Structure 1
Amino acid sequence: MKNKFILLLITVLLSPKIWAQKQIDRSKELTMGQLLPDIPLQDVLNYKGDQIDIKSFDGKVVILDFFDTYCTNCIAAMPKLQKLQDNMGDKLQVILVTWQDQKTIEKFYQTNSFLKENKVKLPTIYSANLLRSYFPHTSVPHTAWIYQNKVQAITYSDFVNSGNIESLYKNGNVQLPLKSDFNDGLKELQNISHTDSVIGSVKISGYKDGVETTGIQIKSDSISKLQKTTFYNLDILGAYTAAWSKINKPTFLMKNERIIWRVKDSSMYQYPKDSGGKNVWLLKNGICYERYDQIKRSELEQAEVILNDLNMFLGLKVYWSTKEMPSLVIRKLEGEKNKNIQLHNEDGGLGGTGVLAFMIDYQGNFPPVVDEVDARMNIKIKDYSSLEKLNEQLKGYRLVLSKEIRPLEVLVFEEIN
């Protein structure tokens, strides 16, 4: 149960997307190259009036950036969009778009200190059901590029930068990767014969345009009767860790300290933080994997096959080892070793010391955490700013974090010469 809860937290906290409803009506969808239809005036905040005419900006590049208030990545990108608007206002009009109502968005701007500090006050269309029907999506941020009242691109927000805006403004078009939440760019592996003589095939390729990033999927192909194993647009580190997790689910966050790079350039394998947006980086470094097998294997067995394929085709040797390193160890306070720590029934806290370890690791400014208590309890932590602050709060739970040197599991990447 603890492992499942930790993995759920990882999904919620680290996911770059906020998922909307599963069934989307695409009957009104606009695609690249299409002219905008007649669009009525849209209700808007942060504008000179209460309504905005999108087609009135035909002489500028119009960025429609779809967001909602639950999406941390959307909010984090808003200062960048504001700066672009401030610096390129004669060529650019950024318009934020959300399905949420006026009251919610007004409160969002009134109470969000991050937006206030960065002086974000971009025109924001709310209750935008019509625009969402023209640009359907299942995840945000989702960005539509309009120029001369024509749809020029539909992308991830990472690609919104001055260079791409200038290129579109100057040339009247821009070539950018397609963001499709419906995998419109995904095609079945070509040249697969569906006769009994086919043993199978393996294909590892680069980034696939118009395909949503997916984890490892293993299923039976209904036509060929072969077992089909795929993932799309993953970073190489992510591909390996996804495969390893099917063999032995991790109970810790994969921090940088837990990765040993014996390679010439680790930036090919893992996104370097704050280097221009992960989707831009994936365009160059992401990989796709498609495998068909006559042999039906278990998920664990197939994960081992994936790892062998990746090692062989990428020229790598990737394996788990141990390394002694500074760590924070969750312990019971002295004198509490023989006392059981009971589950607290009050609501609103972390569900145990395992979740506490994950949350401290997630802050990013502490050494890796080792949980030696493994207790289910409701722990409420408000301040993660320092080890001293954490220990002050943990006293009430008869716990302490101590600095120690420990042998920890590490994932080693070696390039084979």
Structure 2
Amino acid sequence: MLRNLLVIFSVILIELIGAKPSCGQHIPTIGSPLPDFELSDVRDYSTHKISNESFKEKWLFLDFWFKGCSSCIKSLPKINRLQTEFKDEIVFMMVGKNDIRYNHGIEDLYDRLRAKQDLNIPHVFDSVLVKKWGIKAMPHVVIVDPTGVVYAITDGRDFTSEKIRDLLAGKKISFFSHDDLDSSKYTGDSTPIVKSELRKWSGGRQLIQDIPEYVNSLKDDQKKTMPLQVSMASLDMLYKMAYVGRFIWSRDSNDSIYYKFYPNPILEIADSSLFEYDFKFNVGKGTYDYSLIMPVSFITKERIMETMQTDLRNAFGYDVTVAVRNVEVWELVVSSEKLLKKSKSKGGQTIVSENFAGGFFAKNLPFRRLIEFITYYISDGEPPFFDATKLVHNIDIKLDVDMTNRHLIKSALHKYGLDLVKTRRPMQVLIIGDGKL
């Protein structure tokens, strides 16, 4: 099961990656009036039909999402709180992409989440506007001021009550800059043959690539010299890229590194302030840009990692080692053999609920895959999850709970003789210590 992330915390590319606005079509542009639009069948709002004219004298946050976007779904409780807090000044309008091919059932998914999370957010379902405005990545939030002018385009990661209060008070507020990623935008001729540069974040949009992903992108065109570019990365991300080759790893059972390498470096340094960063309020604080150019024929994962390691050592002087340490993890365990037997599958076709953020159902599911599903929507900030049951049979299971809430999932598992417990396991860990300069 593929888990997202470009970016720390989750921007997901939607299915129609190639969708582009047609020639002459207007798209939202910061500083310009919002292009005309109309949406029908609006729910949890005072009217069932909306357009540009519906929001005069109020701020409008048009929040586009789709059913496979875990970041979008995880943000719903926060958006709900903000809508409640600022209901007199702002309309948060959720726009769910409901194309039949990829997002069939998104309405039912939202209804289940609405009931379980007590959501009261104005929402509508539409796919035409997504295509018309050329939206490729979600969450995608278009912020429009009371005069109808686009104020910002963001993914909403840094929405806080404090920032929004300042916005309403007339202060100039910057939100995380959101730009759909498209490597084809790079068309320049890289004059330098070999060059690497590490600097404090320059204020551009966030761009973070795994090194294997970058290397593979060059295989299609050996004549093209496209630099490795990293923007707005925290220092721990850069160290993970330099020593592991990746800045994040998923809970997908096919991602072996998830079960071997602990996601968070251990800092054994006197002053860890350089590793402090902010993606919420003071966006970009404590982050860095990194770029690397070298001949395409010379590029390998190992050479890029060696170059990054040298650059980081020269810049910060830390000693870095990879060692095995006992670290905190979650384990799925059997708590009752008697209850567990009741979940053993009676056979038949394997069926898994298509939209399970609002509740998970599976029939004849291989037990080894259960851990993927029950942790899919849980925060990426949690320690790694392991299946410690050693069970190989198939199961029938129904967890009628909010699947973004670990506590509710844990409680629902008890019915099937299962539990999630915290323990410690030996894992490889990146250890960063003070160097001898």
Q: TM-score, normalised by structure 2?
A: 0.67
Matching of residue 250 in structure 1 with residue 257 in structure 2: yes
Q: Distance in 1 between matches of 2:226 and 2:417?
A: 54
- Aligned counterpart for 1:51 among listed residues 40, 49, 52: 49
- Which residue is 1:179 aligned to? 178
For 2:78 and 2:423, locate their aligned partners in 1 and report how far apart those are by CA, in whole Å: 40
Instruction: Mark the CA change 1:17 to 1:405 in structure 2 (over 3 Å): closer, same or farther.
Output: closer
1:260 aligns with 2:259: no
Change in 2 beyond 3 A, CA 1:239/1:360: farther
Kindly report which structure 2 residues correspond to 1:183-198, keeping only aligned pairs within 5 A, or say none: 193=191, 198=192
Alignment of 1:191-210 (within 5 A): 193=191, 198-207=192-201, 208-210=203-205
Q: How many Å apart are 1:149 and its aligned residue? A: 0.5
Relative to 1, partners in 2 of residues 1:144 and 1:243: Cα closer, same or farther, differing over 3 Å? same
Query: Counterpart of 1:385?
Result: 410
Cα 1:33/1:329, change in 2 over 3 Å: closer
Hey, what's the Cα distance between the residues in 2 that align with 1:81 and 1:370? 33
Cα distance change of structure 1 residues 23 and 290 upon mapping to structure 2, 3 Å threshold = same
Per-residue Cα deviation, 1:386-409 (whole angstroms, up to 9, x for no partner):
8x9699569xxxxxx999976532
CA shift digits 1:173-222 (9 cap, x unpaired): 643342001459x87899x64xxxx5522112334423544333244998
- SS of the counterpart of 1:44? coil
The verdict on how the C-alpha distance between 1:402 and 1:89 changes in structure 2, with shifts beyond 3 A counting, is closer
Partner of 2:319: 317
Q: The residue matched to 2:257 in structure 1 has which SS? A: coil
1:327/1:370 contact within 8 Å kept: no
| Aligned-residue offset at 1:382 | 6.9
Partner of 1:32: 30
More relative contact order, 1 or 2 (CA 8 Å, 6+ apart): 2
Shift of 1:32: 0.6
Q: Is the 8 A contact 2:11 2:155 kept in 1?
A: no
Partner of 1:129: 128
Counterpart for residue 92 of structure 1: 90
Structure 1: distance between partners of 2:170 and 2:10: 35
Structure 1 residues 61, 165: CA separation in 2 closer, same or farther (over 3 Å shift)?
Answer: farther
Tell me what 2:434 maps to: 415
Q: Mapping of 1:2-401 within 5 angstroms?
A: 9-11=2-4, 16-26=11-21, 27-40=25-38, 42-100=40-98, 104=105, 106-112=107-113, 115-130=114-129, 133-134=132-133, 136-147=134-145, 148-171=147-170, 174-182=173-181, 193=191, 198-207=192-201, 208-216=203-211, 217-218=214-215, 219=218, 228-246=227-245, 250=257, 252=259, 254-255=261-262, 259-264=265-270, 266=272, 268-269=274-275, 278=279, 283-294=284-295, 296-324=298-326, 347=350, 369=386, 385=410, 392=417
Distance in 2 between the 1:320 and 1:172 partners? 46
Task: Give 1:146 shift.
Answer: 0.4
Give the root-mean-square deviation of aligned CA atoms: 4.7
Q: CA deviation at 1:120?
A: 1.4
Q: Which runs of 5+ in 2 are unaligned?
A: 247-254, 334-346, 352-363, 400-408
Greater CA radius of gyration, 1 or 2?
A: 1
- Name the SS of the counterpart of 2:284 in structure 1: helix
Which moved further from structure 2: 236-245 or 65-74?
236-245
Kindly indicate whether the alpha-carbon contact (under 8 Å) linking 1:180 and 1:212 is maintained by their aligned counterparts in 2: no
Deviation at 1:347? 3.6
Q: Cα–Cα, structure 1 residues 172 and 38, in superposed 2: closer, same or farther, change >3 Å?
A: farther
- Cα distance, 1:309 vs. partner? 1.9
The one-letter code of the counterpart of 2:257 is P
Number of aligned positions between the proteins: 377
- Inter-partner Cα distance in structure 2 for 1:330 and 1:122: 35
- Structure 1: distance between partners of 2:31 and 2:429: 49
Q: Distance in 2 between matches of 1:92 and 1:20?
A: 30
Separation in 2 of the partners of 1:366 and 1:379? 25
* TM-score, reference length from structure 1: 0.70
Q: Is the 8 A contact 2:262 2:428 kept in 1?
A: no
Contact 1:61 1:168 in 2 (8 A): no
- Which runs of 5 or more structure 1 residues have no equivalent in the other structure? 1-7, 332-343, 395-400
Measured in 2, the distance between the counterparts of 1:235 and 1:249 equals 24
Deviation at 1:298, TM superposition (A): 2.4
Residue identity matched to 1:259: P
